[in-house]
């Protein structure tokens, strides 16, 4: 028996005062560029991060690390500012650095 995946959903992101929608199946960086927004260096707010690991799974560069149920961190050397973590974070803990 295979596990059913949840259908992708549109995600709304606000960066630098500009709100844009990332259509399901699209890349955050592409949607941001279309809205005229440059994704800045990002950090994770330890006060609100629950350590769910959704951002870790979304990061294709392995720039995010941390233990489950503990605040995570972004390695600025590895981060390519793609913004995929922004679309996955349900607590809004990923913010401009």
Per-residue pLDDT, 4: 45
Q: What is the pLDDT of residue 22?
A: 95
Spatial separation of the C-alpha atoms in residues 83 and 32, rounded to whole Å: 9
| Residues contacting 30, CB < 8 A, separation 6+ | none
Biggest distance spanned by C-alpha atoms of the chain: 45
Q: Please report which confidence band the pLDDT of residue 8 belongs to, taking 50, 70 and 90 as the band edges.
A: confident
The long-range contacts involving 25-33, CB below 8 angstroms and separated by at least 24 positions, are 27/82, 27/84, 28/82, 28/83, 28/84, 28/86, 28/87, 29/81, 29/82, 29/83, 32/83
pTM, to two decimals: 0.86
The full length of the chain comes to: 97
Give mean pLDDT, residues 64-75: 97
Instruction: Answer whether residue 38 shows pLDDT above 90.
Output: yes
């Amino acid at each position: 028996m295979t596990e059913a995946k949840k259908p992708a959903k549109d995600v709304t992101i606000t960066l630098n005062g500009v709100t844009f929608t990332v259509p399901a199946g699209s890349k955050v960086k592409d949607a941001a560029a279309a809205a005229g927004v440059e994704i800045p260096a990002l950090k994770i707010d330890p006060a609100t991060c629950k350590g769910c690991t959704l951002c870790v799974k979304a990061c294709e560069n392995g720039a995010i690390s941390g233990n489950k149920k503990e605040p995570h961190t972004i390695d600025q050397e590895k981060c390519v500012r793609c913004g995929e973590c922004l679309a996955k974070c349900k607590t809004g803990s990923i913010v401009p650095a």
